């Protein structure tokens, strides 16, 4: 795989995931109207999950992030986690995509449970983990406490870890750029996903001369920030909209890097701006509705799963169904045409 196993002795540094667009995939559950549907806790729909995974890698996606926020990690049992990761590793391998890594998410609050999930994720076929910062006691946690928590995980983790900084789901817990500089020096901490729009903080991490950027990669978690984050030294995105329109988001990433290599001209700048504009239009749905919006879009645009295939308390899709979708339909029809043209 592209992400090697690490040395737990704080000796040999692990390598970050290869640059490219990754998708935080939604977890598909049995949809309303199917025989297996349960309105409280529908079972996993691994058939649809696999179809979606192959749709993504055929569209140029570099790898999958399974059981992040979009994957409803907090609604999934450990047994289901392992089943889901293992099934998608097999799906990719059997289809000839052994080079596409799976990054597994963790969202626990204590070190030991996080380490257990990392161990099981490795056994199921993951090559790295995206570890959500522990935000339950956000108002009482110091930057030193955050640093020591991640270092304690990284010291014993059997996979390379990435720091998942998403204040929106961690009680607005803030990790300072200076803390990132310290954590980036750990040989088993190989990058971060920054799911916030604080562009100055992103710059202070992605462009910091105090970070070895060959060892520690900065990914934006917001496709609407992809172009500016690439410009300040970030490597790519782990982006929800790419789960619906992979070729569109990959096109922006590829155009930037190809143009950077040969020299960026006015024509390339204009196309990049236009692509970023279209991505921002689509991302408004993701920002407003999160995984609910993504599942609606996947069901309506590509017939993946059912919009109501989720677990409580977020099950149900848009409350007014077609009424809400009509607000986004024109933008998504345009993005689908663009996706098909690529």
Pairwise CA distance, residues 239 & 221, whole Å: 5
Give the pLDDT of residue 10: 64
Give the pLDDT of residue 307: 64
Pairwise CA distance, residues 33 & 181, whole Å: 50
**Catalytic residue among 62, 86, 122, 193, which?**
193
321-330 contacts: CB < 8 A, separation 24 or more? 324/296, 325/296, 325/300, 328/284, 328/285, 328/293, 328/297
Query: Is 0.85 topped by the overall pTM?
Result: yes
CB 165 within 8 A of CB 149: no
Give the pLDDT of residue 158: 98
Q: Which helix (H) or strand (E) holds 271?
A: helix 266-302
Active site residue 332: no
Contacting residues for 124 by C-beta, under 8 A, at least 6 apart:
81, 82, 83, 85, 86, 89, 104
| Residue corresponding to tokens 């024509």 | 267
Give the pLDDT of residue 11: 66
In sequence order, what E strands does the chain have? 22-25, 63-66, 102-106, 128-132, 161-165, 189-194, 217-220, 236-237
**Catalytic residue among 22, 86, 122, 164, which?**
164
Query: What's CA 215's distance to the chain center, in Å?
Result: 19
Token code pair at residue 256: 């930037």
Token code pair at residue 238: 């782990």
Active site residue 193: yes
List 192's β-bridge partners, or say none. 163, 218
Domains and CATH numbers, the chain: 22-341 (3.20.20.70)
Give the pLDDT of residue 319: 82
Give the pLDDT of residue 7: 42
Half-sphere exposure of 157 (CA within 13 A, CB side): 35
Pairwise CA distance, residues 75 & 83, whole Å: 14
Instruction: State pLDDT tens for residues 102-159.
Output: 999 999 999 999 999 999 999 999 999 999 999 999 999 999 999 999 999 999 999 9
Give the pLDDT of residue 32: 78
| Residue corresponding to tokens 């596409």 | 100
Provide the 10 A C-beta neighbour count for residue 123. Answer: 12
Give the pLDDT of residue 314: 84
CB 55 within 8 A of CB 49: no
- The average confidence (pLDDT) of the chain is 93
Give the pLDDT of residue 233: 96
**Per-block average pLDDT, block size 10, for the chain (342 residues)?**
45 91 96 81 94 98 96 92 97 98 96 97 98 93 96 98 96 96 98 96 98 97 96 97 98 96 93 98 95 93 82 82 93 98 96
């Amino acid at each position: 795989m592209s992400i090697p196993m690490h040395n737990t002795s704080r000796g040999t540094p692990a390598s970050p995931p290869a640059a490219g667009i990754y998708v935080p995939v939604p977890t598909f559950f049995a949809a309303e109207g199917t025989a297996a549907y349960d309105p409280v806790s529908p079972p996993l729909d691994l058939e649809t999950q696999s179809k979606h995974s192959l749709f993504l890698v055929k569209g140029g996606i570099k790898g999958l992030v399974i059981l992040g926020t979009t994957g409803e990690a907090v609604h999934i049992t450990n047994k289901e986690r392992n089943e889901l990761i293992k099934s998608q590793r097999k799906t990719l391998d059997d289809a000839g995509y052994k080079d596409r890594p799976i990054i597994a998410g963790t969202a626990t609050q204590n070190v030991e449970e996080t380490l257990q999930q990392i161990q099981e994720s490795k056994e199921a076929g993951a090559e790295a983990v995206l570890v959500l910062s522990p935000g339950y006691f956000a108002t009482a946690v110091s930057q030193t406490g955050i640093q020591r928590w991640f270092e304690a995980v990284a010291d014993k983790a059997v996979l390379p870890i990435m720091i998942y900084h998403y204040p929106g789901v961690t009680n607005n817990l803030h990790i300072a750029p200076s803390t990132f500089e310290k954590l980036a020096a750990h040989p088993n901490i190989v990058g971060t996903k920054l799911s916030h729009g604080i562009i100055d903080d992103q710059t202070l991490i992605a462009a910091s001369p105090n970070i070895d950027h060959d060892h520690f990669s900065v990914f934006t978690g917001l496709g609407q920030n992809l172009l500016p984050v690439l410009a300040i030294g970030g490597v790519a995105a782990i982006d929800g909209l790419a789960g619906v329109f992979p070729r569109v988001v990959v096109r922006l990433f590829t155009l930037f890097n190809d143009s950077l290599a040969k020299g960026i001209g006015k024509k390339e700048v204009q196309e990049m701006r236009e692509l970023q504009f279209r991505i921002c239009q689509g991302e408004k749905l993701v920002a407003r509705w999160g995984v609910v919006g993504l599942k609606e879009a996947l069901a309506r645009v590509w017939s993946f799963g059912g919009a109501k295939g989720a677990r409580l308390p977020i099950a149900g899709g848009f409350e007014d169904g077609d009424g809400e979708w009509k607000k986004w339909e024109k933008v998504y029809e345009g993005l689908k045409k663009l996706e098909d043209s690529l």
